[in-house]
Chains A and B, each alone.
Chain A
């Protein structure tokens, strides 16, 4: 069961009538990776997954699984198995017959397929419920059965369409851990569609952030969080302030730019042409308050809102042409030198925390 396959997506597009859901994306998912397709609804992540699974025709481009091009193969011939969003368990069959369904379709004898299905249910610790119908199970149990049904075909890659979205928050976290454990023990490739960046960070070896049918960034979660490639990624992953402006020059290996109607800031990154638009990202938790900033690495603003969050305090600051700049301060630091709404505070950050963001060529 440890035959994992690399998934190679080569400039794949999906066009519905006049709308393009997925626009010539290319992606290589190494064998045995836990890959999360992350993005807001309508970004094309589910279409991409369904094209890998074979439930959606591919308008142009190719999908390769291992050494076979699977572009025109039916779902069952691809070596993939899919777990559906609402699990899609057959309501008229008990758990054993649900899990044994694909074996029945292959013409495996009744005794043999039921024995195999029971083994699979045992692996998921669901054998006690074998004679029940799906409607008699809780959400988490249904998910385990859906996993058992997908895995009985011995797939090289498991495709999961928002598998945790139907569960309540506590169960979500528990089933998330189970998924990760399962992937590690089976060693096969998992492709998991989600709109929750928290889920993606917790699970993935490879996060693929999608927007408008295109891939904004595909990298390890740490890279995606610490070095977001575009303004969209920085905003979607959260915990970043995105500041936009126009380049005015460069100084000491840093790009200098003007925020419209406000300050002149600097950020570390590639040199840009003067006059070009630029976006930078600043980690909200790497910003200090009450400290005069170095040139171009901070500004003075008015506190618009203070939110106490227990271990941290969240401040919203306006000023220097920047609206709603978020600062996350440690609670002890905050209460040592508290600030109130409508106070003017200096804000500062280090040069390496201001990152120049790229733009997708359109």
Chain B
């Protein structure tokens, strides 16, 4: 915008300025992209480069020594604890993905097709986002009085005489981790799917019905294929969030379950930064591979 305004001014001021104006025009695109490039460079690219560099350094209990060692990687990939932790994290990711996809799709379906007025759709959509007005930690911690040994559910069940003593696996278990993650991340699935469903031309459903499709066939042959880009975007959100999660796993499993990010946090609290960095690089590569896999299966370009 400023460039467009500058140009006529330059022509009217003086003819000799022509050359300078031309060069300004040539660098203008670079100037315009500079702010974003600087921000991404300083806060995304630079830290990643530093992590990669540090992951090759040497360390002991007190300090890090610039070096080029691959022992950090051989330690990460050679230990069965790491493999078990990675498998555990992937297990959480798969379970949470499947549940959020199922719940998210039906919530989005209900919002998009069963709520008739746009005003009501917006109201209900905002209701979905209300939990996000509080922080992750508070939403997570608020499960404790519900699921705890003397919590809402257990005391109700015991009171009604349905169970003789409180159920132990409700809190501080993998069940609790999955429950909290589904609660935290379902909205990330609802939003993109809702967005794609709203863009489907309603006359397609009539065309399908005209061709004799039953409700189930319309869902399978029209709605789900057209919702795939939204599902893919939601999947990327949920998978990357679960793979990088440490607080939910720590709080909800009561320290009985591990995740890759939690392992890194522990390494950092022991000042083993290079080991944590190597772990981070491995996790980054793994997540990027997963995202690449999703993008290969579903073409999300038309959604962006």
Contacts and interface: CB of A to CB of B under 8 A. Distances in A.
Given A88-B204, A90-B204, A105-B217, A55 B210 contact: yes
Given A55-B206, A86-B201, A91 B211 contact: no
B212 interface: yes
A251 interface: no
Contacts, number: 60
Contacts of A102: 210-213
Interface residues of B, number: 17
Interface stretch (B62-70, B220-228, B261-269): B220-228
Nearest to B204: A88
Given A101-B221, A104-B221, A82 B204 contact: no
Given A86-B201, A88-B201, A76 B225 contact: no
Interface string A11-55: 000000000000000000000000000000000000000000101
B206 to A, nearest CB: 5
A326 B106 CA distance: 61
Contact of A53 (B204, B208, B210): B210
B203 A84 contact: yes
A92 B209 contact: no
Given A88-B207, A90-B207, A101-B221, A106 B212 contact: yes
Interface centre among A53, A75, A85, A149 (most CB of B within 10 A): A75
A81 interface: yes
Nearest to A80: B210
Contacts of B212: 75-77, 102, 105-106, 153
Interface string B128-169: 000000000000000000000000000000000000000000
B204 A105 contact: no
A262 interface: no
A141 to B, nearest CB: 17
A190 B44 CA distance: 63
Interface centre among B203, B211, B212 (most CB of A within 10 A): B211
Given A84-B203, A88-B203, A55 B209 contact: yes
Nearest to B217: A105
B210 to A, nearest CB: 5
B203 A86 contact: yes
Given A91-B226, A92-B225, A92-B226, A75 B210 contact: yes
Interface residues of A, number: 24
A331 B231 CA distance: 66
Nearest to B222: A90
Contact of B206 (A77, A84, A92): A84
A82 B217 contact: no
Nearest to A103: B211
B207 A105 contact: no
Nearest to B205: A88
A74 interface: yes
A82 B210 contact: yes
Contact of B203 (A77, A85, A104, A150): A85
B289 to A, nearest CB: 26
16 contacts: A53-B210, A55-B206, A55-B209, A76-B210, A76-B211, A82-B206, A85-B203, A86-B201, A88-B204, A88-B207, A89-B207, A101-B211, A101-B221, A102-B210, A105-B208, A105-B214
Given A88-B203, A105-B217, A153-B211, 16 more contacts: A55-B210, A75-B210, A75-B212, A76-B209, A76-B212, A81-B210, A82-B206, A82-B207, A82-B210, A84-B203, A88-B204, A90-B208, A91-B226, A92-B226, A102-B211, A102-B212
Interface of A: 53, 55, 74-77, 81-82, 84-86, 88-92, 101-102, 104-106, 149-150, 153
